[in-house]
């Protein structure tokens, strides 16, 4: 204990230093936002106290009226923000203020370009919260005490925002946090009540706790904000700007949201929700330990922030509040776990969230594309996760396709269906591990020739997606690399005749290749899907696709050994050449080269790459020496 009482000096994480310097420069033109950030933190701290006090009312220490105070001292040139929230222990100060507890810090810094305007944008995405105080202050003192710990457990943190900070154990009568900003030279504008009032009204009016300030010439403090819940007001009374500032607070985001839905549900369950789709993915989108989610209120009183009870996992990017009229005020995490009321709120909120995405897709293609880039992969999870809403989710999916042949994922299944050829009854797709591999897949040749669109799936989760989506609006999704190609009505009588003739004429030839390749293939047959390539590999309709098989193997899973089918293109000159090859040894090498090639263009790996090169070289040389 005694060592802790002494003043100690600790260094910031190297990243923090870098971030601070950058932030001060890039956010200076918008410096007043520091106040919003500090008020937002104070409000969060009060919310946390309220939640913990549900199970331990003693934490209030006799004062249940949570408040935020703003005060300034012209002579000392300080601005002080105080809250009666949860406060922090010494360790929490080190963890929350001394380090940036966000997993993506390193990656974030790696993405910085050095170009100020671009970096300002990135900083905006990252969010700098507490550190924004250093935009206007050259020294920040934070005095805090965790509710429930005695007055002697106060902590004083101080830093000039350079490389280090000091920590000291002090005595603090009340729980909660005071943040004292020692303003930089030239920042005296923040030492005026009217100026502070304007900023607070602009950015923090939606804060549900009173923000108190004593105006000059007055004896008592007054609330500066309206302090009523924004979502409970009629929509017509809320300005666009208020909606945006509220979003930034609940989502801990610096940039505006892409879309929102504000809705009051009446009936068996009564609740109001205000949900938003962020404009960019948070850094912990793929983290199991995601920090933020939806805030649950009961009759305007904050209960908790939750990441999995109020929204399904595949909508984990949605932010906002849900305020129930029916749940008991003392609802605990345990009750939430098994609450039917919560289940029905969650189902309702899910529908609203999907509705919000549908509307965005309909009304603003450009914004929807941005949404898809940020969250498409997450939304795809819903196809397997949420059976009840599968159809709606399927309509929200976007893919690349041969229609535009570009990597941008902009084709919906409905777009595809609308472009289907006469006589086409399936939705065709190809899967590969990169866009280039998908786009150049030999399996597409016949489809390109006939002008039939094929979806180009190149995201790892797409294999899983299609396995959960056998059809869309009554049309089967069909891999172009699986099963016998049956173009049905897309094939005319003439083509059918040619195909059948080829099957006959090449019968002995394909048997001979099969003998040469032995156990490597399940079958060799004449291909009707190739126009330019000599050969390709396919699998039986009911078997696992080769791309999926490779993915599973790479992930260390035991995969049942399945053998591919080699299809050869009877029109291709190399195949004709092989057909005429008299020597058995050369026929064998040649067949092997065809097989290996097909495997390579599929995205597969050769068992014996050196053997392939050797055979290929041998063949090239022998062909070169052959008299023309």
- Interface with ligand ADP (CB under 6 A): 37, 41-42, 45, 83, 85-88, 96-97, 127, 129-130, 177, 252
Q: 177 or 412: whose CB is closer to ligand ADP?
A: 177
Nearest to 258 by CA among 370, 425, 349: 370
Alpha helices (H) in 30-136, listed in sequence order: 33-53, 90-93, 105-111, 116-126
Q: Give min distance, CB of 129 to Mg ion, in A.
A: 3
DSSP H or E stretch at residue 496 = helix 493-505
In the sheet with 319-324, reading across from the earlier edge strand, the strands are 259-265, 271-277, 319-324, 294-298, 301-306
d(CA 625, CA 628): 9
The option from Mg ion, ligand ADP, none interacting with 161 (CB < 5 to 8 A, set by class) reads none
318: CB partners within 8 A, 6+ apart? 275, 276, 277, 294, 311, 353
d(CA 559, CA 441): 24
The option from Mg ion, ligand ADP, none interacting with 88 (CB < 5 to 8 A, set by class) reads ligand ADP
The option from ligand ADP, Mg ion, none interacting with 42 (CB < 5 to 8 A, set by class) reads ligand ADP
Q: 13 or 622: whose CB is closer to ligand ADP?
A: 13
Q: 15 or 364: whose CB is closer to Mg ion?
A: 15
Contact indicator for 250, 271 with CB cutoff of 8 Å: no
d(CA 274, CA 270): 14
The option from Mg ion, ligand ADP, none interacting with 141 (CB < 5 to 8 A, set by class) reads none
Q: Give min distance, CB of 392 to ligand ADP, in A.
A: 32
Q: Give min distance, CB of 86 to Mg ion, in A.
A: 14
Contact indicator for 397, 410 with CB cutoff of 8 Å: no
- Which residue is nearest to Mg ion, using beta carbons? 129
The option from Mg ion, ligand ADP, none interacting with 410 (CB < 5 to 8 A, set by class) reads none
The option from Mg ion, ligand ADP, none interacting with 154 (CB < 5 to 8 A, set by class) reads none
Contact indicator for 322, 273 with CB cutoff of 8 Å: yes
Q: Give min distance, CB of 307 to ligand ADP, in A.
A: 14
Characterize the bridge pairing of strands 176-183 and 471-472.
unpaired
Alpha helices (H) in 364-434, listed in sequence order: 365-385, 390-396, 413-418
Q: 291 or 403: whose CB is closer to ligand ADP?
A: 291
Q: Give min distance, CB of 88 to ligand ADP, in A.
A: 5
The option from Mg ion, ligand ADP, none interacting with 210 (CB < 5 to 8 A, set by class) reads none
The option from Mg ion, ligand ADP, none interacting with 177 (CB < 5 to 8 A, set by class) reads ligand ADP
CA 563, distance to chain mean position in Å, is 36
Q: Give min distance, CB of 16 to Mg ion, in A.
A: 15
The option from Mg ion, ligand ADP, none interacting with 597 (CB < 5 to 8 A, set by class) reads none
Q: Give min distance, CB of 85 to ligand ADP, in A.
A: 5
Q: 254 or 368: whose CB is closer to Mg ion?
A: 254
d(CA 626, CA 628): 6
Nearest to 480 by CA among 557, 402, 423, 415: 402
The option from ligand ADP, Mg ion, none interacting with 96 (CB < 5 to 8 A, set by class) reads ligand ADP
Q: Give min distance, CB of 257 to Mg ion, in A.
A: 17
Q: 42 or 452: whose CB is closer to ligand ADP?
A: 42
List of residues contacting Mg ion (CB under 5 A): 40-41, 129
Q: Give min distance, CB of 249 to Mg ion, in A.
A: 9
Classify residue 415 by its DSSP letter. H
d(CA 406, CA 103): 33
Q: Give min distance, CB of 421 to ligand ADP, in A.
A: 52
Contact indicator for 38, 81 with CB cutoff of 8 Å: yes
Q: Would you call 421 helix, strand, or coil by DSSP?
A: coil
Neighbours of 449 (CB within 10 A): 12
Q: 169 or 441: whose CB is closer to ligand ADP?
A: 169
Q: Give min distance, CB of 145 to ligand ADP, in A.
A: 10
Q: 42 or 480: whose CB is closer to Mg ion?
A: 42
Contact indicator for 402, 409 with CB cutoff of 8 Å: no
Contact indicator for 48, 85 with CB cutoff of 8 Å: yes
CA 247, distance to chain mean position in Å, is 18
Q: 142 or 535: whose CB is closer to ligand ADP?
A: 142
Q: 66 or 454: whose CB is closer to ligand ADP?
A: 66
The option from ligand ADP, Mg ion, none interacting with 127 (CB < 5 to 8 A, set by class) reads ligand ADP
Q: 282 or 545: whose CB is closer to ligand ADP?
A: 282
- Which residue is nearest to ligand ADP, using beta carbons? 129
């Amino acid at each position: 204990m005694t060592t802790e009482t002494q003043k100690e000096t600790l260094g910031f994480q190297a990243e923090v230093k870098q971030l601070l310097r950058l932030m001060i420069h890039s956010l200076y033109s918008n410096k007043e936002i520091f106040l919003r950030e500090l008020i937002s933190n104070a409000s969060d701290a009060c919310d946390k106290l309220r939640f913990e006090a549900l199970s331990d009312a003693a934490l209030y220490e006799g004062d249940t009226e949570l408040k935020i105070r703003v005060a300034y001292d012209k002579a000392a040139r300080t601005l002080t923000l105080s809250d009666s929230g949860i406060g922090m222990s010494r360790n929490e100060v080190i963890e929350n203020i001394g380090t940036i507890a966000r997993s993506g810090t390193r990656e974030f810094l790696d993405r910085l370009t050095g170009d100020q305007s671009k970096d300002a944008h990135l900083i905006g995405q990252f969010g700098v919260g507490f550190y924004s105080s250093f935009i206007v202050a050259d020294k920040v003192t934070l005095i805090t005490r965790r509710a429930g710990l005695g007055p002697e457990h106060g902590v004083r943190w101080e830093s000039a925002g350079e490389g280090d900070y000091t920590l000291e154990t002090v005595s603090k009568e009340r729980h909660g946090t005071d943040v004292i900003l020692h303003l930089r030279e030239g920042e005296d504008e923040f030492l005026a009540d009217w100026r502070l009032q304007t900023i607070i009204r602009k950015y923090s009016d939606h804060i549900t706790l009173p923000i108190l300030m004593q105006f000059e010439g007055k004896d008592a403090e007054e609330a500066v904000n309206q302090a009523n819940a924004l979502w409970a007001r009629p929509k017509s009374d809320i300005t666009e700007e208020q909606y945006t500032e509220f979003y930034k607070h609940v989502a801990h985001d610096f940039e505006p949201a892409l879309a929102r839905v504000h809705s009051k549900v009446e009936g068996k369950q009564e609740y109001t929700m205000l949900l938003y789709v962020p404009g960019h993915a948070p850094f912990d989108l793929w983290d199991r330990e995601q920090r933020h989610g939806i805030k649950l209120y009961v009759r305007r009183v904050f209960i908790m922030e939750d990441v999995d009870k109020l929204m399904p996992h595949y909508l984990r990017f949605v932010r906002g509040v849900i305020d129930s009229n029916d749940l008991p005020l003392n609802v605990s995490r345990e009750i939430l776990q098994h609450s039917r009321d919560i289940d029905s709120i969650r189902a309702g909120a899910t529908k609203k969230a999907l509705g919000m995405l549908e509307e965005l897709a309909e009304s603003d293609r450009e914004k929807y594309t941005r949404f898809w880039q940020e969250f498409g992969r997450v939304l795809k999870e819903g196809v397997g996760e949420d059976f009840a809403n599968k159809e709606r989710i399927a309509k929200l999916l976007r893919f690349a396709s041969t229609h535009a042949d570009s990597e941008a994922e902009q084709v919906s299944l409905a777009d595809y269906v609308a472009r289907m050829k006469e006589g086409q009854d399936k939705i065709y797709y190809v899967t590969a591990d990169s866009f280039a591999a998908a786009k150049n897949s030999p399996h597409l040749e016949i489809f390109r020739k006939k002008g039939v669109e094929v979806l180009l799936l190149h995201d790892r989760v797409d294999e899983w997606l299609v396995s959960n989506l056998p059809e869309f609006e009554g049309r089967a999704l069909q891999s172009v690399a699986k099963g016998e190609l049956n173009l049905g009505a897309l094939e005319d009588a003439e083509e059918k005749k040619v195909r059948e003739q080829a099957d006959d004429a090449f019968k002995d030839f394909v048997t001979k290749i099969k003998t040469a390749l032995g156990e490597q293939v399940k079958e060799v047959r004449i291909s009707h899907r190739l126009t330019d390539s000599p050969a390709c590999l396919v699998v039986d309709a009911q078997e696992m696709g080769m791309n999926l098989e490779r993915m599973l193997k790479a992930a260390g899973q035991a995969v049942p050994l399945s053998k591919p089918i080699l299809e050869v293109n009877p029109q291709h000159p190399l195949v004709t050449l092989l057909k005429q090859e008299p020597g058995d040894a050369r026929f064998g090498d040649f067949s092997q080269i065809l097989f290996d090639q097909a495997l390579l263009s599929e995205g597969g790996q050769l068992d014996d790459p050196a053997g392939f090169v050797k055979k290929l070289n041998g063949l090239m040389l022998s062909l070169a020496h052959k008299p023309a």
